Amino acid sequence: SAGLAHEINNPIGIIAARVECMLWEADEQGLSETVRGDLKVIARHADRVARITQGLLSFSRQQAWRLSPVDVNTVVEEALVLVEKQLAREQVTLERDLAPGLPAVLGSANHLQQVLLNLLTNAREAMPEGGRLRVATRRNGGSVEVEVADTGKGIPAGHLSRVFDPFFTTKEKGTGLGLAISYGIVRDHQGTLTVGSREGAGTTFLVTIPAAGEREGRRHG
């Protein structure tokens, strides 16, 4: 899939650039709104294809991670810094409940932050009229858990079993790869990513990753 994504990426980049030029020329020449509207549709879908191919590259890229002890609370805080201003602008109240003294997990801080950003973005987009977003961490036996819960529109019961499938999305501009990539990252940390939701009442994602000592024990057990 990575090779296919590369093959698609180059021509779609050319198409997007040419359409941008055509839009500029259409404005300059005063072409009809119908023509400009059609060009905007092409530009929008070219952008969507570009985002899908970028997602495919991320999804298929197999990188050797340098594993190191990761403080989950630090990962969460750094992800929240990137989104909290936008949450405030969109009338989303952020609640933190980060347990102190959590054991480290063994993994990649950058990849775990990508997971958190995907979950936080999904939560924000589920609350277009505002709401409450709760982010909590805790220890559960030999694992560390991160919970991201929103009060948004929820996920229909018929869609719950498919939310981690590549390309499955109910969003007009979604690629359907964010949660699939997140699921793979958590799995590669020997963890689990689960979801619970009730339509009209919100959604909760739960990331569970074994603590560093537990992971080593599993490896040698």
pLDDT recorded at residue 199:
85
Under DSSP, the state recorded for 176 is S
Domains in the chain: boundaries: 2-60, 68-220
pLDDT in tens, 24-83: 888 888 888 888 888 888 887 777 676 666 666 655 555 556 789 999 999 999 999 988
pTM: predicted TM-score of the whole model, two decimal places: 0.69
CA–CA gap between residue 131 and residue 93 (Å, rounded): 6
Q: What percent of the chain has pLDDT over 70?
A: 78
Average pLDDT over residues 142-162: 89
Fold observed for domain 68-220: Heat Shock Protein 90 (3.30.565)
Identify whether the C-beta of residue 197 lies closer than 8 Å to the C-beta of residue 155.
yes
Per-state percent for the chain, helix, strand, coil, to nearest 5: 55, 20, 25
Type of residue numbered 185: I
Q: Find the farthest-apart pair of alpha carbons in the chain and give their distance in angstroms, rounded.
A: 72
Q: How far is CA 114 from CA 145, 160, 174, in A?
A: 16, 21, 16
